[in-house]
Structure 1
Amino acid sequence: MLRVIHFACLPVFLLSLVSFSGIAEENKEERFTGKAYDQQSGDLIYTEQHSIKVDESGAPVSGNVVYTQANGEELAVKQLNYGKIPYSPSFQFDDQRLAKSLEVQVEVDRLLIRSAEGEESVKLPRDKPAVVDAGFNYFMQQSLPELKQGKTLSLAFLAVGRAEFYGFEVSPEKINDKTIRIKLAPSAWVLSVLVDPTYLTYDVKTSRLIRYEGLGNIERVRSGKGLDENYVVRIEYEYPE
Structure 2
Amino acid sequence: MTNRPIFAVFAGLALICLVPCVARAATDYYEGEAFSPDDGRLLYHERHWAQRQAGSMRRITLFACPDGRPFARRILREGAGAAAPDFDFEDARDGYREGLRSEGGKRVAYTQAPGARERSAVVQVPQGGVADAGFDARMRELWPQLAAGRAANVAFLIPSRLAFYDFHVEPERPQPNPTQLRVRLRMDAWYAFVAPDIRLVYDTADRRLAEFSGLSTIRDDRGRYRKVRISFPDRPASAPMSADAAATAPLGRRCGR
Q: TM (normalized to structure 2)? A: 0.79
User: For 2:20, which of 10, 18, 23 is the aligned residue?
Assistant: 18
**Matched AA of 1:40:** D
How many pairs does the alignment contain? Answer: 226
**Matched AA of 1:100:** Y
Q: 1:93/1:38 Cα in 2 relative to 1: closer, same or farther (>3 Å)?
A: same
- Whether 2:99 is the aligned partner of 1:103: answer yes
| Residue 78 of structure 1: aligned partner | 74
Could you tell me how far apart the structure 2 residues matched to 1:22 and 1:136 are? 14
Identity across matched positions, percent? 26
CA drift of 1:89 comes to 1.2
| Residue 48 of structure 2: aligned partner | 50
| Residue 236 of structure 1: aligned partner | 231
| Residue 202 of structure 2: aligned partner | 202
1:39 aligned counterpart, secondary structure? coil
| Residue 88 of structure 1: aligned partner | 84
Is the 8 Å Cα contact of residues 30 and 49 (structure 2) preserved in structure 1?
A: yes
CA drift of 1:65 comes to 0.5
Is the 8 Å Cα contact of residues 7 and 196 (structure 2) preserved in structure 1?
A: no
Could you tell me how far apart the structure 2 residues matched to 1:101 and 1:166 are? 20
Is the 8 Å Cα contact of residues 14 and 134 (structure 1) preserved in structure 2?
A: yes
Could you tell me how far apart the structure 2 residues matched to 1:197 and 1:60 are? 33
Could you tell me how far apart the structure 2 residues matched to 1:114 and 1:232 are? 22
CA drift of 1:121 comes to 1.0
| Residue 162 of structure 2: aligned partner | 163
Equivalent runs, 1:130-141 vs 2, <5 Å: 130-141=129-140
**Matched AA of 2:153:** S
Q: 1:125/1:78 Cα in 2 relative to 1: closer, same or farther (>3 Å)?
A: closer
Residues 89-108 of structure 1: per-residue CA shift (max 9 Å, x gap) = 11111212223333321465
CA drift of 1:77 comes to 1.2
**Matched AA of 2:13:** L
Could you tell me how far apart the structure 1 residues matched to 2:102 and 2:186 are? 24
User: For 2:110, which of 104, 113, 116 is the aligned residue?
Assistant: 113
CA drift of 1:125 comes to 4.4
| Residue 177 of structure 1: aligned partner | 178
- Structure number with the higher helix fraction is 2
| Residue 150 of structure 2: aligned partner | 151
CA drift of 1:152 comes to 0.8
- Whether 2:38 is the aligned partner of 1:40: answer yes
Residues 13-68 of structure 1: per-residue CA shift (max 9 Å, x gap) = 221x2223475xxx4x431111101122221100101112358xxx9711001111
Q: 1:177/1:110 Cα in 2 relative to 1: closer, same or farther (>3 Å)?
A: same
1:9 aligned counterpart, secondary structure? helix
| Residue 62 of structure 1: aligned partner | 58
Residues 154-209 of structure 1: per-residue CA shift (max 9 Å, x gap) = 1111122211211001111053331110011111132x111111000001011110
Could you tell me how far apart the structure 1 residues matched to 2:110 and 2:24 are? 33
Moved over 6 A (4+): none
2:143 aligned counterpart, secondary structure? helix
Equivalent runs, 1:187-226 vs 2, <5 Å: 187-190=188-191, 192-222=192-222
Is the 8 Å Cα contact of residues 82 and 137 (structure 2) preserved in structure 1?
A: yes
**Matched AA of 2:109:** L
**Matched AA of 2:14:** P
Could you tell me how far apart the structure 1 residues matched to 2:41 and 2:170 are? 29
2:68 aligned counterpart, secondary structure? coil
Q: 1:62/1:211 Cα in 2 relative to 1: closer, same or farther (>3 Å)?
A: same
